Structure 1
Amino acid sequence: MASRYSMPSSPSSASGMCPGSPSSTRSLDDLLTCPICLDEYKDPKTLLCLHSFCYKCLENCKRSYRRDITCPVCKKVTPLSSFGIGGLQNDFRIQQIRDILVNRPNSPGTSGDDVNMTQSEADGKLCDLCKTQQKKTAAGSHCIQCYMYFCSSCVEKHSTNPLFTSHHVINMLDNHASETLFCKNHKEHPVRYFCKTCVFMMCTICTLDHDPSHAPEPLEKGIIDKYKKQLHDSLRMVHYRLNEVSSRSKYLETVKQSHQRSLQEAQAAIHEKTEEMIKKIREKEQNLVQNLKTLIDQKMHENGLENLGEMNYLKGTMDSLYADIQRVINGSPQDCLIAYDDLANRTKRISEAALPGICKRKKKCQVKFVPSNAEFDVVLGSLQECNLSDMDTDEEAALPPSGSTLNTYTCLMSASPKSPKMSCRVSSILNAMSPSRKTDSKKVSKVKAFGSSVDISPSSPKTINADELLASSNADGGNISPTMSTPSPIMSAPSPIMSVPSPSMSASSPGMSQQDDSMSLVQQHIKLVFKIDQIGGWPGRITSPSSVAFLPDGNLVISECENRLQVFDSAGHSIRIMGWGKMKPQTVVINREGQLVLTDKKDQCVKVFDMNGDAVSTWGTGLFASPSGIAVSSNGNVIVTDLETNNVSIHSPDGGVISQFGSWGSGDYQFNHPTHVTVDQQDNIIVSDAGNSLIKVYNKNGAFVQKFSLLSGKQGLLRRPHGVAADNIGNILIADHDNHRISLFSSEGKFLHHLMTKQDGIRYPTAICFDRNYKHIAVVESHVGFMSKDPHHAVKVYQLS
């Protein structure tokens, strides 16, 4: 690489090196060259080890799954903030050194006239202040803080201005000006001493007049090296304490997530057990009522109550005859003579008729219900403390005790963030907390709850007072668990997204409510239309698909996060490829104008293309660290999630920031890798918080609405959900990545059923998308993993009928 800067060598140099020799040039090139790209620094960033690199070079070296970066030169680890590489300190020294070297004379091997020529005239540097007045005056001085060049008259204005008295101005004609600082009071004398009390640098003259009690220190190399060494020790200690706090925070966060999952799973199990017991009590109630009816019928038969109808008939006949006789008696003599024979015959028949028999008992018998006198004690189960893994205790033992003061170097070695042992422990804890991990029933113990010993083992059923239990259940509305709400009208309607019954979702499976069973009767048939699973760079093959979107004409566009977009027709044939090698698209959607809107990880921005692949606009440069999910609302606003900053931002169609929220954590407005986002018919923002295994919902203004992760019963929890989509009635479809299934939730966050599972061929679902008519659904399956031996990439399109 050709040298742009050269340091002039003194003719009396003891080394005898020729001025401008290759070795001296190379040292300057190395000073201003990035060790990675071997080119001039572009936006240099400094690590804790004080090595500097280009921003892009560090971005390429950083591993996405880690929150630190290893120096490519000395291999020291620098922790990163939530802003990633962008949060590192800028190295301003590089630009200062570059400006100083640019203003030095090229080499002394020139004619006498050229030697006397100023560097400003040689390089054409003009006074920046004179430029504003349309003047061209050669500059002789340079201000490091202002980054401006001044002529002799303008530098006087700059120096006399009170705002700039603390600025350091370099005389560009002095080759050693950059190495020497001059006293502010005595400009011709260099700085030799420093007063720590006044925080002021002084020359020898100022020191003689200074307060001797302040004890100024000479600016010698040994003194400065001593302070630097102390600062390096402080840096190591802060680094160690930071690692210690980070380890404790990560451990406590893991424990918190474990208890939250335990709470949700226990609530679901309690609700399921309660519903089961209520169902059994209802069955006992029906049996008891049936037995009561049978017993009453038997008693009625024994008392001859089957003759009650005949008795009622005779009674009616006698009542009619009695009324007729009384009317004739009270009537005229003619009526008596005319009706006598008929009334006499009717009276004779009634008097001779035999009455039905009646079984008389000495004692009257009555059937009553006698409630059980046993104490009302419904035993649903108990609470057990399960030993998830022995690694939990190892993790806790590995944490240094609070207030410990260990040797700095020992701590740095044991608590290094890149320690594989620490990573293994954290990974084992997370695996142990996985809902799919089965708990060994033998490893249980009793735990005291609220000061009393609670037996959690299933016990034999006791006598239950049915009236009291049913009354209490009806008083509570039958809603035992506070997390399970009454089904909404939306949930009662048949969903347009229903699956074919599979082994993974039978009607009798635990946790499926009665409403879920009724909904399964109207399930729609799902048919695989085509799939794209050939991996490669040729047209028709895919590499690392990250998202999919249906175009207005029914075609399909797939974003391949390595380098391109690829369009397929409705039969799965490749039509065209867009932006090959010019982007790293993460998620692509279609806006109201029918344009492609995508997040680009390569340029860290949002790009808009037309259907021909021509760029329309680009916005968001400098706003994002790692843009991932994207969605477009009904009014054209764009919602973007950022993996690095754990932020969700709402933008106008032209990219203006309307609002933004989010940081790293597990709160309502905090995220841990928000991978995907979508909007429903009401423009509610639905975010998949993959790291926290949660789905979070916000209204169109960004206000928190709800979050959910719980499935039903033994279905467990979501595990690293990725893609989300909403149908036309508000139901939410979720790509449950690590559980290998597509799950359907209501708009209130209640689990309905699984649309597709691993038994249906689903593996690592990453993104999902509906077409405009909600007749087709596309699923992206993608998994590489760390050191994975079985990568999997596919895009599948299903038809709903």
Structure 2
Amino acid sequence: MAEASTKLTTSDGELGDLLKCPICQDVCEEPRILSCQHIACTECINNWIRAKKGQLWCPECNQQRELPAGGAESLPHSFRLNDLCGILKEKLESGEEGSNCKLHSGKPLSMICFECEVGVCDSCRTSTEHTGHMCADAKQVLELKADGKAETAKNYLIRIDQLKQELEKSKEDGLDVLRDFKKRSEFAHQRLLQEMEKNYQEKVKVLGNQEKELEEYVAGMRSFNELTKTQDSMDVSIVVDQLKSLPKEESLRPKTTSYLKVEMVHEYENAVLRWGDQVWQVTSDRLTAGEAIHLQLLLKDDRGRKVVTEREDVLSVEVCTVDKRTIPLEPQKQEGGHFTISFTPSFAGWYVLTAKAFDKMIPGSPLQLKVEPRGIEMKEIAGEAPSSQLHDVLKVGDNFMLVDKTVIMMDKNGKLIQSFENKDWYFYPYSIAMHKQCYYVTAMKGQVVIMYQANGKEVRRFGGDVLKRPTGIALDKEGNIYVADNQLSKILLFGPDGKFKEYVISTEPSRQTMSLNNPWFIKFNSKGQLIIADFENQRIQVINVQTGREIMSIMVMHEGQKMYCRGVDVDRHDNIYVGARADKSGNPAEGIFVYGPDGTYLGSLPAKDLHWSRGIHIAKDGQHDVLYVVDSSHKSVRTFQL
């Protein structure tokens, strides 16, 4: 292999390029000739073969060649070619110009003699020594050799350096992934510990309540024993007969509404004995918000006789409303020991009545009452603006935002106030939400979310790189934007700046029951939980957006038939209102169905002739909530007082 001091450059001439080893890039030393007529140093080609695992690949044309049995030493060589390389090397080392002829006054070596394997000038070609030899233009030969060159050793070194850099970058990326995984694992571990602690405290509380009930039961039995010893006038056989009349499977373990209760009545020598009898009687046919509810309560003594007393404080009753307020009620004493109790519930949901007689809780108390929604239909909103198919509605002050072919604002009389800016005819808006005086609209066919100022001017668009068919939209208190996509069947989260963050619902195997199928409208309740109208799955899903976990799933049914969920919203007490249809086409069964915060069915609104409902919006109106629902078939917005 040649020394580094004789390294060739482009200024050393064309002859030097022809005699250059493609491996070490120097003048060949003891050149060996491959079957493709390319040459290389003996030492270089030996190292090259070892690097190629014993195979012979031409370092210039990159073609595999046959390797003789004796290895590189058996490859043919040329003494003339070797001498020529030696001469050129000497000239380079001595500083002489290697591209000029020494015999003919420094004429340029413009030709190559293939038989002598040396560079010649024009005078050499016509001399006796080279007469009749095949010669060719040196420049052309150099260009032909350049076309078939393989990657040089220098290029290999450059590539190795690049691979090292890529490997180092991959290492850093891998470490970043591991660090992120560790962080997420620690977060999940902490959250799991918190949930376990919460479950533990809840179970401790339940066990404490059961222990308290057991203690009350034991105390009651002791009181009963004392009573039977001291009250000679009491007919114990009555108690024995009542106990014998109980079903055999009935156990004497303590229960909330079924236990032996003995109370002393001061006006009488005997006791009031109750064993799980129903003392409440609801006289109202249907419990509806806004309508008075009437109840009767009857007290009897141990012989089944009505208790009659002149005391005014014998009975006290209070009601816990859906908003967790406790209100005392005034029982009205009637003849024969009856008491009547009346109150008017303001909202739909569960009400709990608690009653005490002689300062002691009576059997059957507390009593739970399910109150259905009111649903008084008011004047519908039908605007003067042209409508192809309404999708969503949003009440802003005394005006209404309607999502139609575009986004428009109308007053309560249906008069058009303004139309929002639309720069793209391929718009097809679907749903609208509001946050801090700005409106956010999903463009289903435009595959984006558009943000508007209050004056209708477009601020920006986002989501075009990830959204396919956006439908429902909702914003949390921090301004994060949640978008349902019914083609992706996912909920996507965007930051307040419109940048995509993540998919909300996890796709882990353990959470496959949470998978969505064509979600439509979405809304937040007061707890920050996301309510999703899961259309094709015919259910309402409630999820924790922080963890992506399902909190509750409500299968929407009507007369034994599953319903396709469409619009959805919640009232001030987190009751869920969902517009649903029994069939995607052809079946007119459709309505607004109401569920409590715990998923309990509360009833439905009398929405007669509702057809192809879409978006639902609930707004406060003084002491009442008002529900607005889009009736796209009739191109109007129906209004119901709740």
Larger-Rg structure: 2
TM-score by length of 2: 0.43
